[in-house]
Structure 1
Amino acid sequence: MPRDTRNPNNLPTKTCPVCGRDFVWRKKWERDWDRVKYCSKACSKSAKQAPIAKS
């Protein structure tokens, strides 16, 4: 029985808005890929701690 595997060369990518690095789809993000914004917990945490610019 063939396994459902993804070709690593064809995985979707996104760019992290905090560090600017590209990151690739991961199995654990399968259901939430549309909501994933940051490449890591560290970037997510630093984005939430960023000061808010006042106009």
Structure 2
Amino acid sequence: MPAPRPAAPPRLRMMSPLALDEHPTHHVRDHLLTLGAMVLFCAIVVLLSH
């Protein structure tokens, strides 16, 4: 007798929930990078507008 088949299709990896807690966040470093990117962007915009 063959083994019973599962009723649902197999779960794909993209359908599983994201494990966001696996990678720790560095709040200060993230804020400094964001601030640096904003300053660089504003400096480029100012330089190109002249």
Q: Radius of gyration: which is bigger?
A: 2
Which range, TM-score by smaller chain?
A: under 0.3
Higher relative contact order (CA 8 A, sep 6+): 1
Q: TM-score, normalised by structure 2?
A: 0.27
TM-score by length of 1: 0.26
Pick the structure with more strand per residue. 1
Structure whose residues are more often helix by fraction: 2
